[in-house]
């Protein structure tokens, strides 16, 4: 199979398009690169959706944790503690078992509509179930980052806002929020990379891959099992991850530049990638 043929057959295999059968014998490097790349679509999907949904949740949680009202602060603190204090791996397992149990629980209430039954069934699939776990997880981690930044907003900025007569929403929108983002952005970039790397865990999370439509590690594992040679597929995964990491750094770097555009050149904080191992 030539590289062009491999691309045609397997480029979107992870989404269910193209050749149905995975390569079995005479597996070339091209097939491996294309198919693992096709699996990366899922990793990108998980990371992109979890991050964009998690961002808003995290801002809300950070504000809640910063609240003076006990009733608002405590739940946010607990949420952050539970998701940051336990391994993501265990969270995946627990969520999966919970989601598998759901339809059975629902089955006892036979009056539930078909729509709801269908929804609970989707929860046990990776595209929704794993996404929810990743979303809640990144919300907690990012909330802690935003909370730290919120506490670090310079006193002078707040006093200046007061002096201009800004209060409530306007003060938050014009002064507090932009400064929080500016302060949190380098750490949040790391969190984004970290979350992207954690999407690799979805493969181990017992969420099954339907019709062999899996993520990058699923196909890497498939090839490692088929060829008994892990030295080609796993480095391919690593290279893909490094490439996408560079892409995230470029994207977040551009946002960082925009957030700090009012500062003199040398006072702008630089993004530094500090890799973290496991969540």
Partner 1 sequence: MFEFCTDPATLDTLRWFSCYLTNGAHFLFYQSFLVVFALLAVTAPAALAFGFAAAAASRSQILPLSWLGKTYTAMVRGVPDIVFFLFFVLVLDQGIEFLRHSVVCPDWTDPIRQGANFLVCPDARTPQSSAPQWVHETYGFALAVFTYAIVFGAFCGNVLFGAMRAVPRAQLETGEAYGMSRRQVFWRILVPQMWIYALPGLSNIWMILIKATPLLFLLGIEDIVYWARELGGSRTSAYQYPHPDWRFWYFFGLLVFYLAFTRVSEIVLARLTARLSHGQATAAGEDLRKAAA
* Site of interaction with partner 1 (CB under 8 A): 81-82, 85-91, 93-94, 97-98, 100-101, 197-198, 200-201, 204, 217, 226-230, 234, 237-238, 241-242, 245, 275-279
Residue 99 DSSP SS3: helix
CA angle 249, 194, 30 (to 5 degrees): 75
Residue (242 or 250) nearer to partner 1, CB: 242
Tell me which residue of 57, 87, 97 sits closest to 75, measured CA to CA: 57
Q: What share of the chain is helix, strand, coil (3-state, %, to 5)?
A: 75, 0, 25
Residue closer to partner 1 (CB basis): 198 or 256: 198
The pair of structure tokens assigned to 179 is 């400064």
Q: Return the number of the residue (105 or 251) whose C-beta is nearest partner 1.
A: 105
For the bound state, the minimum distance from the C-beta of residue 198 to partner 1, rounded and expressed in Å, comes to: 8
CB of 97 or CB of 159, closer to partner 1? 97
Q: State the nearest-atom distance from the C-beta of 75 to partner 1, in Å.
A: 16
**End-to-end Cα, the chain, rounded Å:** 40
CB of 174 to partner 1, least distance (A): 33
Nearest partner of 50 among 260, 192, 229, judged by Cα: 192
Q: How far is the CB of 6 from partner 1 (least distance, A)?
A: 20
Residue 277 Cα distances to 42, 87, 230, 263, angstroms? 21, 12, 21, 33
Q: Whole-number minimum distance, CB 278 to partner 1, in Å?
A: 4
Which two structure tokens, joined as six digits, stand for 67?
A: 């609240």
- Which residues touch 256 (CB under 8 Å, ≥6 apart)? 185, 186, 189, 268, 269, 271
Query: Both tokens of residue 86?
Result: 């336990």
Residue holding tokens 């990144």? 138
Minimum distance, C-beta of residue 178 to partner 1, in the bound complex (Å): 28
The distance of closest approach from Cβ of residue 77 to partner 1 in the complex, given in angstroms and rounded to an integer, is: 12
CB closer to partner 1, 63 vs 134: 134
Q: Which is nearer to partner 1, 35 or 59 (CB)?
A: 35
* Residue 25 or 267 with smaller CB distance to partner 1: 25
Give, in degrees to the nearest 5, the angle at Cα 242 between 236 and 244: 105
């Amino acid at each position: 199979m030539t590289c062009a043929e491999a691309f045609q057959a397997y480029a979107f295999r992870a989404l269910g398009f193209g050749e149905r059968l995975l390569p079995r014998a005479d597996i070339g490097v091209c097939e491996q690169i294309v198919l693992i790349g096709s699996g990366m679509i899922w990793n990108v999907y998980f990371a992109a959706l979890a991050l964009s949904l998690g961002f808003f949740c995290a801002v809300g949680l950070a504000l809640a944790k910063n609240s003076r009202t006990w009733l608002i602060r405590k739940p946010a603190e607990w949420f952050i503690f539970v998701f940051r204090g336990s391994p993501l791996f265990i969270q995946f397992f627990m969520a999966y078992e919970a989601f598998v149990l759901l339809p059975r629980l629902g089955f006892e209430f036979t009056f539930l509509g078909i729509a709801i039954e269908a929804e609970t069934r989707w929860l046990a699939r990776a595209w929704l179930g794993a996404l929810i776990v990743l979303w809640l997880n990144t919300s907690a981690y990012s909330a802690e980052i935003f909370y730290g930044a919120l506490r670090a907003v310079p006193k002078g900025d707040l006093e200046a806002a007061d002096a201009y007569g800004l209060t409530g929403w306007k003060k938050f929108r014009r002064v507090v929020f932009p400064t929080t983002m500016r302060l949190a952005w380098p750490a949040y970039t790391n969190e984004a990379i970290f979350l992207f790397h954690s999407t690799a865990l979805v493969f181990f999370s017992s969420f099954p891959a339907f019709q062999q439509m899996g993520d990058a590690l699923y196909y890497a594992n498939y090839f490692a099992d088929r060829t008994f040679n892990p030295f080609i597929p796993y480095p391919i995964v690593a290279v893909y991850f490094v490439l996408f990491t560079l892409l995230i750094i470029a994207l977040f770097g551009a946002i960082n530049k925009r957030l700090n555009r009012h500062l003199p050149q040398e006072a702008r904080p630089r993004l530094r990638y500090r890799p973290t191992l496991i969540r």
